A and B are shown apart, each in its own frame.
Chain A
Amino acid sequence: MSTALSTSRTGFSMFRLATTAFPPGFRRQHAREMTAAFEQELKRVIRQEGRLAGGWYAARAVVDAVRQGLHERVRRAPPPGHGGRKPSGGDGIGSGLGADVWIALRGMRRSPGFTLAAVAVLALGLGANATVFSALRVVILTPAPYPELDRLVFVDMVNEHVGRGERRVMTWSYPKFDALVEAENRLIDPVSGYANRSGTLTGLGPATRVAYELVSPSYFQTLRITPLVGRTFAREEGDLSGRHQVTVLSHELWRSRFAGDGGTPEGDITLNGTRFRIIGVAPEGFRGLTGDAQLWIPLSAADDVFGFGLIEQSGAGWFHVIGRLRPGATIEAATAQMGTIGDGIAETYPSRDPQSVWTASARRFQDVSVNQDARAAVVLLTLAAAVVLLVACANLSGLLLARARRKARDGAVRIAVGASRWRIVRASLIESGLLAALGGGAGIALALWGTTAMASAWPREFLSSARGEMRVADPSQLGLDPAVLMFVVLMTLLTVLLFGGAPALRLSGTDVSLTLKDGPGATRRDVALLGVDGRAALVGVQVALALVLLVGAGLVGSSTARLLNVDEGVRTENLVTFRYAIPETSAWSDREDEFSEEFLARINALPPVVSAGTGTTPLRGHWAITRVNAVEGGNEIAQGEGVRIGVHMVDDRYFETMGIPLVGGRVFNATDGTDRFPSIVISELTAKDLFPGEDAVGKRIEIGISGEGKESWSEIVGVVGDVLYSPPDQERMLESYYSSREFGTASTNVLVRTTRDPLGSMPAIRSIASEMDPTLAIYGVTTMDEIVSASVGDRRILLVLLGLFAGVAVLLAATGTWAVVAVSVADRRRELGLRMALGAAGGRVMSMVVKQSALTAVAGVALGLAGAAGGSRLLEVFLWETEPLEPSVYGGGALFLLAVVLLASWVPARGILRLDPAATLRSE
């Protein structure tokens, strides 16, 4: 009997709870009677049919009461615009997750504008993040694929200049490397040298240009690379004593040339005319540390492929060295030991310059294998993308809050009828989750496109490590692999919690009785009051974050603009450069000067050509960089102490063609280079530096360039304008020119200035070349504008992406503001109308609304300026002649954003002017 009693008690309290589903008016009239009837009937059922039937009856009655109660509420208070809709009977709160998902989907279909906006905002945020994360993964997160990476080290030759305090990492020469290999009890063992070169491969089908590496025999063991077929180099194959012309092929080359039949590769290849016996094949995908090697030959074969005695030169560094730490050895100990070994090597091969001290050192492989510029750029972009996502989240929170306001009544009803607050939060999270899933999907599609675009725009400087030791990032790896997809899923989850959770919690905290108060007008205002500050704050956050990105993009943009607008010292427009190569089989091969003269004369005769000349360096780079050893009439300069000076070999029309102005004296003419007294032309900066306050023309300098039967002193015949042969963000150097006749260094680098599109003249130039010799190759066709813009390099991709991110953020902040003002105007329709009815001018009421959002914007801008100032330090490495706190960028960004926000609030605020004060009064 006691169990029957407890069944009836449980049933009774459940039923009484269920009756709260009915609207209050109904409850007042019927609840007690209804509950009493339930109780009586339940007792009767238990008495007559048993407890089980009683329980079943109670359950059915509870569900029925909730259903009818909700039904009754809907019937009594039809929502605006749904007056005629017949309630579907409802599934109350008894329904589960599936129902919530279905309800959310239905809601999304009913408000396509909101859904589209939310999905677009999310797609932008997640797509940007997935793209940038993909880059982050390639540049930083993916370790090099070599086992026991933490024991792999680079061994550097280091040159320190005592006088100038310079420390430079250098390459190794063979004799010095040999001394390193011979050093006893090394903590780094083995050590392996490697260098990459390109050469002509013959003997296997058509002759092709291939990249290859010259390596120590231990190279493969050091990297722990085992051959797919055959073997790698044996120790004795590194010896100089014998002639070891053996090669290991890359898997790709082996497969393409030998059809990769799996058997032991046999046969020879011919590289630069020397035959090498194939001894093995590297595993698939391995292309050497430099990333594009097709085959490997021993370092000791260098002289065979280069054709001159490089091996014996102790002063000529030409390869890098890697090694492995012995078990138990630390990098610190190894570095110290390398210093000692390096000092010993320097004693064996003393420097001619006492100020120049050579030694050796070691660096962790990982420190080299990350391109620091790429790393900085990618980290910066990752942060920027995260900021975009934050703005997107804030924007979506605003959208959802505004939407929650409309749905507050629904939520309050559900809370009133006993739905737990968790249930309300869950429903809201489900909705956000669905939006996030859609947005995430669209974001992945966007990232697919983004990574492809990024791979093609990947700066060349980012491909290899800072000093070209190795290939560090492969842009073809940019893409959506499981790691990136996992990242998107994580970001999506985070986003859901960030932007879905907040409005839901707010809604779940809604004062139910306030919301349910009769009269839709009252409800609206009450709920709106609860949320208006929150939404304004969200807009403030968006404005602040957008400004941070805007300032970042502005700083990089200003740097890039300055780099592009820097005075190159030449007229870059309508100027094209190309090279030509005379094959040995050509009749011209022993008359190159003659060829050059005739070729240039014929190009100069072309109608659109203003001038054509040759020079060893079109722009960016030098034929040589030496030091000024002596200046006529100047102080004595210690050996190796002179200032650095760039040297160029040019023909008589070079200055005219490049558009380099003559400042004093003359340019070269046919008399130069004909006797034993060299003539030199120097730049204005050089003249000012070497002969301050004097006329340099007629003076003599000695810069260590000499030739057979030539005096070591050169006479300055002219001074020309400064040209940026070094990239603009590097130290400006002194520059000098010799006539190409002076030391017999005729250049095959042709420069052509035209009256119109310079590339348009190339077909005519090519046909001249092929008339003179059909086997002649013309290559490396580049316009000067391309050369200049290439030097902006890594800043360009950074600028494009930062600009894109900033644009998206500004757009989001603008729409966020617009939405908040529009909603707030709608919420305050009665209040604003009342003010107007009481005599306030529409314009004044409107400006009051705009002023409120202006205040939010000003607060956001202040916050954003502070954030940008803090974040700008991250940008410093990418700035050139731009201060991280450049006032014009900050001021411009702030003003621009304020203008955008004001416009975005002015547009919806205009709706106030259309308010009818009389109608407002009537509705009161």
Chain B
Amino acid sequence: MSRTTDDPSVIEDLLPLSPPVYYILLALGVDTLHGYAIMQAFDGLMGGTERLLPGTLYATLARMMETGLIEEASPPEFEGDPRRRYYSVTEFGRVAAAGESERLRRLLEVAVAQNLAPGRTG
């Protein structure tokens, strides 16, 4: 499935991204990773406060492949486990993640303005 970023309404349709989709996009970043590595990366990003469970992870990966947010990448040469599939974020996925981040940023601004965001205020 190929997607272009030309049509902003396609992105609009996807937003808001479900938390697992957004997490996976964040965990992948610019890297090419396999499933378990995505779990670990996410764990590292969130400091263990949120967990990506394997069922959710793989089901979400499959859906994201279908939507074109990620694509399967060829494994690196050092990979010895033939079961492992590697994924990387597509251009479309990057735009979607940016769109979601922007949406969250605006929400956060509102939250700060309403004094609903705890912690750093200035």
Contacts and interface: CB of A to CB of B under 8 A. Distances in A.
A37 B59 contact: no
Contact of B39 (A15, A35, A37, A66): A37
A69 B55 contact: yes
Contact of A36 (B53, B56, B60, B83): B83
A67 interface: yes
- Interface SS of B by simple majority: helix
A38 B54 contact: yes
B36 interface: yes
Contacts of B36: 33, 36-37, 40-41
A66 B54 CA distance: 11
Contacts of B62: 26, 29-30, 72
A41 B39 contact: yes
A695 interface: no
B59 A72 contact: yes
Interface string B75-90: 0000001011100000
Interface in A1-51: 15, 18-19, 22, 26, 29-30, 32-38, 40-41
Contacts, number: 65
B105 interface: no
Interface stretch (A57-65, A345-353, A540-548): A57-65
A65 B83 contact: no
Interface string B81-105: 1011100000000000000000000
Contacts of A324: none
A67 B83 contact: no
Chain B, interface size category, equals: 20 to 34
Contacts of B56: 64, 68
Chain A, interface size category, equals: 20 to 34
B83 A32 contact: yes
Contact of B59 (A35, A38, A61, A68): A68
Interface in A42-92: 57, 60-61, 64-69, 71-72, 75
Nearest to A30: B58
B57 interface: yes
B39 to A, nearest CB: 6
A30 B55 CA distance: 10
Given A26-B62, A32-B83, A72-B62, A37 B55 contact: no
Given A64-B53, A68-B59, A33 B85 contact: yes
B83 A66 contact: no
Contacts of A67: 55
A68 B58 CA distance: 9
Contact of B35 (A33, A60, A61): A33
A61 B55 contact: yes
Contacts of A66: 55
A73 B79 CA distance: 31
A33 B59 contact: no
A18 B84 CA distance: 20
Contacts of A29: 62
Contact of A64 (B34, B55, B81, B85): B55
A61 B53 contact: yes
Interface string A411-440: 000000000000000000000000000000
Interface in B44-75: 51, 53-63
Contact of A71 (B35, B51, B59): B59
B57 A37 contact: yes
Contact of B83 (A15, A19, A33, A68): A33
A506 to B, nearest CB: 32
B34 to A, nearest CB: 8
Nearest to A69: B55
Interface of A: 15, 18-19, 22, 26, 29-30, 32-38, 40-41, 57, 60-61, 64-69, 71-72, 75
25 contacts: A19-B55, A26-B62, A30-B58, A33-B34, A33-B58, A33-B83, A33-B84, A34-B35, A34-B55, A37-B35, A37-B36, A37-B54, A38-B54, A40-B36, A41-B54, A57-B51, A60-B51, A61-B53, A61-B54, A64-B56, A65-B53, A68-B56, A68-B59, A71-B59, A75-B63
Given A34-B35, A65-B55, 11 more contacts: A15-B54, A29-B62, A33-B83, A34-B57, A36-B81, A37-B39, A57-B51, A68-B59, A68-B60, A69-B55, A69-B59
